[in-house]
Structure 1
Amino acid sequence: MEKSSSGKLTLVSLILMIFTSVFGFANMPRGFFLMGYAAIPWYLVAGILFFIPYAFMIAEFGAAFKSEKGGIYSWMEKSVGPRYAFMGIFMWYASYVIWMVNVASTIWVPVSNLIFGHDTTGQWSIFGLASSQVLGILGVIWLILVFLLISRGLESIKKITSIGGTAVALLNVVLLVGGVTILILNKGQLAQPIHDVATSFTVSPNSNYHSIISILSFLTFAIFAFGGTEVVGGLVDETEDPVKTFPKGLLIAAGCIVLGYTVGIFMVGIFTNWDSVLSSPDINMGNVAYVVMNNLGYELGSALGFGEQVALQMGAWTARFVGLSMFLAFSGAFMTLSYSPLKQLIEGTPKEIWPEKMTKMKNGLPLNAMKLQALIAITLLALVSFGGESAAKFFDKLVLMTNVAMTIPYLFIAFAFISFKKRDDIEKPFVLYKNKTIAIGISWVVTIVVAFANIFSIVEPVTSGNYDQTLWMIAGPTLFSAIALVLYARYDKRTK
């Protein structure tokens, strides 16, 4: 990363760091799958009402508590109180456990694309087990394997997987260049036509997203697309002339991310007709990115005038490249996130909260706590995968659970910012929200937007009779809330 002569981040390097930490390739094909071009305005709404104001909050928190080792726990503990802070950081940690359950199952989709050139996981079966159950068992094996590798100190594996991050970044270039090439070769004709701008950009081609509740529930997906904002908190002190450079860099990065998602979703529509490519019941949130990129290869071959067989092979090899890239990226992220959130949870909170065995370190890792974490993740995965569903519903449930779980911590942090701004005793070396009343008002807007997005996401499956999806979205956060309350009550009793 380029730095100035003073060793600080320049405006350009700051923008690049924020962009690469937040922008996610899979959010574009998923957005198009759920809402078509109508996803674009929602990503814009999420950027304006959530990402930019939330990132400014994170920046102020990070600067005020830069010397504290507890991370987000310190932010909330100093602003609101220890019980609230522990609940907040525990929900933040829990979101990563649910993310691990998701990835342990969905990582087999890129593996399938890498081997076969398309997703075959919906047909995987052994000993008469359904595909979702086979994926659940494979996910359990993956969780055990990762724990064994990391517990033996084989962190060097992460260096290999950093190639995946570069490859995924390259996917964005492939999408852009491929889309523009197809548009030129097809003389400006879109695969997903725009008959009427007002309708095409507000009405989803997906019949599941026509009701008011389902459309509003999409906001959770849009907010989730801006995940990774937490990295902003540590960049204020790393930036040259932060008072001027940081807000400018953040606004430009936010603009680039929103523009990137907008262009990316539009690119998908250039070569993907929703009804002919994405309406199949075999398409789900776990495999849609691979289906879209396979179609990109096929449509590029067709536009170049190649025969059907050559075009199909181009599609399959594009899917293989996506599969390899995503597998490496998922593996690297999984290796890191299987211990770093847990380590921050244990090291950032009062030691007395935890049973002594949980705080013991070996090779710099809390191995006993990691064992328990693996056991919880395996139990959750087994319960979800053996629910007797098709692979499509299984993947959809996992994605919904993850989106809700990973956006709940934003509520805790945004709400804590209200107290933070009211507290004049906290030294604030870097202030973006100069007016206290405006800052508190914006905090309430962010809190309400995230809360309502999650409420609509939880309620929406009930309207279509998918009660189990709602139950699982509630079950994860409820379970971890109960554990957090028990742990803190035990600590409170002992310390008193």
Structure 2
Amino acid sequence: MSQKKHVSLPQLVLIITTTVYSFSSMSTAFYMMGIKALPWFLIAGGCYFIPYALIVAQYTRKYGNRSGTVYDWLKDALSPKAAFVTAFLWYCSYFTWMVSLFMKLVIPLSILLFGRDITAEASWFGISTPWLVAGFAICAVALLTWLINRGFGTILRFLKVSSLAMVGLLLLSAVSNFTLVFAHPTEVWANIQQGLHAPSFFEGTGDQFFSQLPFFIFAITAFGGLDTVASLSDRTKDSRRQFPKGLIYSGVIILAIYIGGIILWSGANDLGTLRQTDQMHLGNLMYGLMGSLAGSLSKTLGLSVAASGVVYQIYIRYTAFVLFTAYLGLLSSISFGPLKSLIQGTPKNLWPKQLTKLNNQEMPFKALHLQAGVIILVILAVTLNTHVAGELFNQLTYMTNVARAMPYFVVAASFPFFLKKRIVADQELFVSNRKLSNFLSMSVCACIIFAIAFQIWEPFSLGHYSDALTLIIGPIVFSTIAALLYRRGDVAGMRVE
């Protein structure tokens, strides 16, 4: 057996911060709402993210040295069956995301290498764009699976590189925006005012506060990812003590970066002018904003046209590099973490013996290979561009949209039961006041219910009844499959513990 790799507390804080924090979400928030995004991020952070981080921190303090994550958290608080169904839902919600991320990898890589998105062209090297994307995605699946099977150290290296690259992007954007603020101090308030009076980005909504509720859903999703890094808690040094600390420290840092970023971008840039640019839209927003920032900085510094072009290329290519490494870091963690938690953390008798086998690096190599094979088949099916395959994948994506939020709800809703059963002593609680702990649980649950209700209501209001129905059916289908798998363990005469 190889020596087990562990994450130190500083590394953990860096990884959690840069995994949960999304520069793309921050830039999108600024572009959609300007400074008006600030109160919604504060509400989402105060009502959802910080309470959920405290709940996860409490669970990892108790179960930080185990592999099951969601299953271990819920097995004692609720029941083994409820824990398994939730863990299965949690894994399924990541599957379609993995497929989508693998198929997006080529976009930042092409911008990094060529300075433009080659997938926007009809063909490249005589290969049609869909097959170019599919070919690259399949190679990426195979290569990443091979690397992950070499041990947790590989995943840790991916996460470290992507984290450091994200820190570099944050510093680059912060220094550039601060330069604009100091060079044009009289324009700061005008830019903020422009953001305050910019037209609402959401169709059918106005400037009144409560008419902007759709943005609250976006703000909640900007704080996603705690469950992904929590699946790596057993790989942290002194996990029961250090991992909860890392979660809490990171939670405060993430909220501060979001707030600081929105304020800084709003003060240094004219949102009205940015929205008038024909070449900027939500699909290329990170590159568009960083390219615009490079242009404004070059103009402020009085650079020549040639020098400005070089600065522009540096900014957009480094942004592409950050996004590419972020995808790799995210894919390495979600390819391993949820699968490891499901296969290694749940009772072994629920799975074929081959799937639970570990290699010399303590990785579930058979399960990883099976997962890679299914992902490749889905990529090929989607690339064939048949109506049936495309529609099936679209429906699968819709099915996992609500299913992705359900585990968060169950984890939060289980917390009062966890406290009531006194699974941990009072002196081990982060929040010693149990009434306040129950309130944190209710706050998270209320936010998730609101988000799910809006997700279902939106297609209904647009007349897309099949999509709305799929959103509802998704969790039911995945839960039924999980219940059947669980029942199989009992029927086989091996009582599930």
| Aligned partner (choices 97, 100, 103) of residue 99 of structure 1 | 97
TM superposition shift of 1:104: 0.7
- Which of the numbers 201, 204, 207 marks the counterpart of 2:200? 204
Alignment of 1:135 onto 2:133: yes
Match runs of 1:1-400 below 5 Å: 19-20=17-18, 22-66=20-64, 68-125=66-123, 134-151=132-149, 156=154, 159=157, 162-189=160-187, 193-195=191-193, 199=197, 204-205=200-201, 207=203, 215-230=212-227, 254-270=251-267, 273-274=270-271, 276-278=273-275, 285-363=282-360, 364-381=362-379
Instruction: Give the residue type in structure 1 aligned to 2:167.
Output: A
Q: Go from structure 1 to structure 2 and tell me whether the alpha carbon gap of 1:398 and 1:450 turns closer, same or farther (over 3 Å shift).
A: same
Instruction: Measure how far apart 1:23 and its partner are.
Output: 2.7
Counterpart CA distance in 2 for 1:282 and 1:457 is 29
**Contact conserved, 1:136 with 1:381, CA < 8 A, in 2?**
yes
Q: In structure 2, how many angstroms separate the alpha carbons of the residues matched to 1:279 and 1:484?
A: 49
Q: What is the rounded CA distance, in whole Å, between the counterparts of 1:185 and 1:222 in structure 2?
A: 31
TM-score by length of 1: 0.79
Secondary structure of the equivalent of 2:22?
coil
Partner of 2:5: none
Deviations 1:58-82 (A, max 9, x none): 2222223345553331110011001
Between the aligned partners of 2:185 and 2:155, the Cα distance in structure 1 is: 46
Partner amino acid, structure 2, of 1:445: S
> Cα offset for 1:383?
5.8
Q: Match for 2:346: what amino acid?
A: T
Q: Given the two structures, how large is their TM-score scaled by the length of structure 2? A: 0.79
Once residues 475 and 130 of structure 1 are traced to their aligned partners in structure 2, the CA distance between those partners, rounded to angstroms, is: 35
Greater fraction helix:
2
Q: What is the deviation of 1:479?
A: 5.2
Cα drift, residue 354 of structure 1: 0.8
* Deviation for aligned residue 1:181: 0.8
Q: CA deviation at 1:111?
A: 0.8
Shift of 1:469: 6.8
**1:381 CA drift (Å):** 4.3
Structure 2: gaps spanning 5 or more residues = 1-7, 388-393
Q: Percent identity?
A: 31
Quick check: 1:182–1:271 contact (8 Å CA) kept in 2? yes
Show the counterpart of 1:430.
Answer: 428
Name the CA shift for 1:470/1:174 in 2 (closer, same or farther; >3 Å).
farther
Superposed CA offset, 1:112-152 (max 9, x none): 22023243433353699985675355333422332344446
Distance 1:280 1:103, change over 3 A: farther
**Residue by residue, what CA displacement relative to the aligned partner does 1:359-396 show, whole Å, maximum 9, x if unpaired?**
2333433233223322333354456666699xxxxxx9
Cα 1:350–1:160 shift into 2, 3 Å:
closer
Separation of aligned partners in 1, 2:401 and 2:301? 39
- Secondary structure of the 2:59 match is helix
Q: Secondary structure at the match of 1:193?
A: helix
The Cα offsets for residues 259-316 of structure 1, whole Å up to 9 and x where unpaired, read as 3112212333455555554567875555321221122112211222224443233212
| Contact kept? 1:73, 1:349, Cα under 8 Å | yes
C-alpha separation in 2, matches of 1:488 and 1:270? 54
Q: Distance in 2 between matches of 1:302 and 1:468?
A: 51
- Tell whether the 8 Å contact from 1:65 to 1:74 is kept in structure 2 after alignment: yes
Unaligned runs of 5+ residues in structure 1 are: 1-7, 390-395
- Answer with 290-299 or 186-195: which moved more: 186-195
Checking the alignment, whether the CA contact within 8 Å between 1:118 and 1:294 is kept in structure 2 is no
Return the offset for 1:449.
0.6
Name the CA distance, whole Å, in 2 between partners of 1:388 and 1:194. Answer: 48
Q: Which amino acid aligns with 2:295?
A: Y
Distance 1:251 1:118, change over 3 A: same
- Asked if 2 retains the 8 angstrom alpha-carbon contact of 1:182 and 1:270, the reply is no
- The CA deviation at 1:399 is 10
CA distance in 2, matches of 1:127, 1:397: 33
SS of residue paired to 1:28: helix
Q: Report the more deviating stretch, 75-84 or 135-144.
A: 135-144
1:486 and 2:456 are equivalent in the alignment: no
2-structure distance, mates of 1:478, 1:294: 44
Provide closer, same or farther for how the CA distance between residues 125 and 189 of structure 1 changes in structure 2, counting only shifts above 3 A: farther
Give the RMSD, CA atoms, in angstroms.
4.2
Decide whether the 8 Å contact of 1:185 with 1:304 is kept in 2. no
Counterpart Cα distance in 2 of 1:481 and 1:409 = 11
Contact 2:118 / 2:124 at 8 angstroms: preserved in 1? no
Q: Give the Cα separation in 2 of the matches to 1:478 and 1:96.
A: 17
Give the match for residue 4 of structure 2.
none
